[in-house]
């Protein structure tokens, strides 16, 4: 991922895109699922060859359950990934894109019970993300985007993650 970011930052003559957005994730594994409604995502992309570019991404999500019926918990998810993005730039009013990224997701959990907090554990696992979306200009350098991604987290038991992101995209020339 660091190599992808260095490549993006080393290309000052070409346009780079900084995207920041709100994200919602839906994790599922072995018949169980959980929605994580609070999250933010940031990515930096730059051209590599024609419509294909490199992209680096970092995102953070958190879910908190109260302890009214059972012990409560905080679950935090931090992801770093890098890869390639294809952007179709033939229509000036909408730019579709697809991307494939590989990285890691760090998951950590704290339990809350009887006024005490316990670190339940944390782990980092490899992750593959495939997805896409569309970006629409809202001005000369500013735009809005929406994307939907599928993530596979390679933990002891495989975890599937659907992620929706909506936000703003700044084109830096």
The answer on pLDDT for 7 being more than 80 is no
pTM: 0.83
The average pLDDT across 123-133 equals 96
| Cα separation, 113 vs 5, whole angstroms | 42
Q: Which has the higher per-residue pLDDT, 75 or 105? A: 105
Proportion of the chain above pLDDT 90, given as a percent: 60
* pLDDT tens sequence across 38-89: 999 999 999 878 889 999 999 999 988 775 656 777 889 999 999 999 998 7
For every residue of 89-122, DSSP letters joined together read: -S-TT-EEEEEEEEEEEEEEEEEEETTEEEEEEE
Instruction: Determine how many CB atoms are found less than 10 A away from the CB of residue 89.
Output: 12
The answer on pLDDT for 102 being more than 70 is yes
Burial 1-32 (b: 16+ CB within 10 A, else e): beebbebbeeeeeeebbebebebebebeeeee
Ordered domains of the chain (ranges, CATH): 2-172 (2.40.160.20)
The answer on pLDDT for 159 being more than 50 is yes
Q: Which has the higher per-residue pLDDT, 50 or 119? A: 50
Structural element, H or E, at residue 2: helix 2-9
């Amino acid at each position: 991922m660091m190599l992808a970011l260095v490549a993006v930052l080393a290309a000052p003559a070409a346009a780079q895109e900084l995207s920041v957005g709100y994200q919602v994730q839906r994790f599922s594994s072995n018949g169980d699922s959980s929605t994580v409604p609070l999250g933010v995502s940031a990515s930096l992309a730059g051209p590599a060859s024609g419509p294909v570019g490199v992209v680096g991404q970092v995102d953070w999500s958190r879910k908190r359950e109260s302890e009214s019926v059972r012990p409560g918990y905080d679950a935090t998810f931090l992801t770093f990934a890098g890869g390639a993005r294809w952007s179709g730039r033939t229509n000036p009013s909408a730019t579709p894109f697809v991307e494939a990224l590989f990285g890691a997701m760090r998951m950590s959990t704290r339990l809350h019970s009887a006024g005490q907090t316990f670190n339940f554990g944390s782990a980092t696992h490899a992750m593959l993300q495939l997805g896409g979306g569309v970006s629409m200009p809202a001005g000369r350098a500013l735009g809005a985007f929406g994307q939907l991604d599928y993530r596979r987290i390679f933990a002891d038991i495989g975890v599937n993650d659907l992620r929706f992101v909506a936000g703003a995209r700044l084109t830096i020339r």
